[in-house]
Amino acid sequence: MSFSRILSEDDRRYVWHPFTQMKQWEQSRPLVIAEGEGALLIDSDGREYIDGVSSLWCNVHGHRRKEIDDAIIAQLGKIAHSTLLGLANEPSVELAAKLIEIAPDGLSRVFFSDDGSTAVEVALKMAFQYQRQRPDPRRGKTRFLALDNGYHGDTIGSVGVGGIKLFHGIYEAMLMPSLFAPSPYCYRCSLGKRRESCGMACAAQLEKMVEEHADELAAVVLEPLVQGAGGIITAPPGYLRRARDATRRCDVLLIADEVAVGFGRTGRMFACEHEGVCPDLLALSKGISGGYLPLAATLATDEIYSAFLGEPDERKTFYHGHTYTGNPLACAAGIANLAVFDSDRTLEKLKPKIERLAQHLEEIATLEHVGDVRRRGFIAGIELVADRPTRRRYPTAIRMGAKVAAATRPRGAIIRPLGDVVVIFPPLCITVQQLDTLMRAVRDSIEECCP
């Protein structure tokens, strides 16, 4: 028996995979990834695939990027981990300073954690505690407003502001009660409007809810420009700006969850930049370390930070932390990641790739079973439908998105769908030629699976 087959069998025997129905998984032969190089993944049999999902939306400059490899190796020669509870370490200080330098104006403090869920969890707890400790305490501001189809992670606080029933509904009894505004899902508008004539009714509804519940809202939390796990739902231009203006008007904090869309994915370093928005709290992860090591950060304004300052007996401390908060290896990777953005002129070189992606999507949009194509920067979603004129969905049991994803593998690509939305989320380092190969694989797979 080959080594790769042994690995596959042991995986089925011992490993419980995330977001995976293991009954079907146990009946398959898992693809085992052994190596990576640039935008490529290499399996245990030596076959190469384009990493069309950026290893779950986190890889930025490619696998085995020398500068990041070298930074981690150099840090290993010093120390692998030291706590930030009562101590500081060099890489976390340097990375924090660099993050504030590139972040939207007004953000001035960095709280490190481990992943996107914890970055949001930190922001939620900060917002809640801030309202109690601000110079004019507002103890009644204890609730959060989020969006339908929103996803902010899988810890209990972040699930509490999650708006995807499939993921979050089963845990409802465990969750804090949050309010939910309509998603800016133009293709399937929950308000029954048409995008050509709606006047951005979803934004108006959000504004109305913020105004009506201002006295009880600690914060609004949303994913700027793109709702990722909800199906790559792209907000209309101006939506984010209106959300920011409404929260300022009503004395409600704004938490921007840029875990997925940060670090160049939308064509700018941060999605908030597109509409000149500075949130009160900014949650970052995934691309922060270039996709190398678990790391997250929650950035806050001085106004929020100052509300936590006091004498020990005032009990204003932010009582939250993680064992690996500010891990030196991860922070060293983060520093190198930002340096590569500069040395490679990553965002500048991304522009022609974004244009090429748009060209491919224009062609794919003409296919009979493609209902909607959504893109923002270098992120795209292709929604498959059983019937285009009526927008009728495929029956869930068919798992059409999964079939299309599986069909891309013999064509040398790996993607991961969200239901029947085919997701395009490649590393920023992908070459134009590799992008062409990826998009041809997607198009051919859709035509094969959706005749």
Could you tell me whether strands 107-113 and 253-257 are parallel, antiparallel, or unpaired per DSSP bridges? unpaired
3-state SS class at 282 = strand
The answer to whether residues 328 and 89 touch, using CB atoms and an 8 Å cutoff, is yes
Determine the 3-state secondary structure of 403 from DSSP.
Answer: helix
Instruction: Let me know: does 447 contact 367? Beta carbons within 8 Å.
Output: yes
What does the mean pLDDT of the chain come to? 97
Q: Where in the chain is the domain with CATH 3.40.640.10?
A: 70-343
Residue ranges with strand state E in 389-439: 413-414, 421-424
pLDDT digits (tens, 9 = 90+) for 37-55: 999 999 999 999 999 999 9
pLDDT cut 90: percent of the chain above it: 97
176-208 tens-digit pLDDT: 899 999 999 999 999 999 988 899 999 999 999
Residue 329 has pLDDT above 90, yes or no: yes
**Average pLDDT of the segment spanning 335-364:** 98
CATH class for the domain made up of 70-343:
alpha beta
Residue 451 has pLDDT above 90, yes or no: no
The phi and psi torsions of 36 (rounded to 5 degrees) equal: -150, 155
pLDDT at 196: 84
pLDDT at residue 195, rounded to an integer: 86
**Burial of 136: CB neighbours in 10 Å, binned 0-12, 13-18, 19+:** exposed
Instruction: Inform me whether the pLDDT recorded for 72 exceeds 80.
Output: yes
Contacts 24+ apart (CB under 8 A), 410-414: 411/440, 411/441, 411/444, 411/445, 412/48, 412/49, 412/50, 412/437, 412/441, 413/49, 413/50, 413/52, 413/437, 413/438, 413/441, 413/442, 414/31, 414/41, 414/49, 414/50, 414/51, 414/52, 414/53
| Domain limits, CATH 3.90.1150.10, in the chain | 31-61+345-449
Residue 87, pLDDT > 70, answer: yes
pLDDT 10s digits, 120-163? 999 999 999 999 999 999 999 999 999 999 999 999 999 999 99
What confidence tens digit (pLDDT) does each residue in 274-306 have?
A: 999 999 999 999 999 999 999 999 999 999 999
Q: pLDDT class for 2, splitting at 50, 70, 90?
A: confident
Total-model pTM: 0.97
pLDDT at position 272: 98
pLDDT category at 3 given cuts 50, 70, 90 is confident
Mean pLDDT to the nearest integer, 383-404: 97
Residue pair 268/276 in contact (Cβ under 8 Å)? The answer is no
SS3 380: strand
pLDDT value at position 1? 64
- Fold assignment, 31-61+345-449: Aspartate Aminotransferase, domain 1 (3.90.1150)
* DSSP string of 295-348, one letter each residue: -EEEEEEHHHHHTT---GGG--S-----TTTT-HHHHHHHHHHHHHHHHTTHHH
d(CA 237, CA 245): 14
pLDDT tens, 167-176? 999 999 999 8
Across the range 255-264, mean pLDDT stands at: 98
CA atoms within 13 A on the CB side of 320: 20
Q: Of 121, 368, 76, which is closest to residue 221 (Cα–Cα)?
A: 121
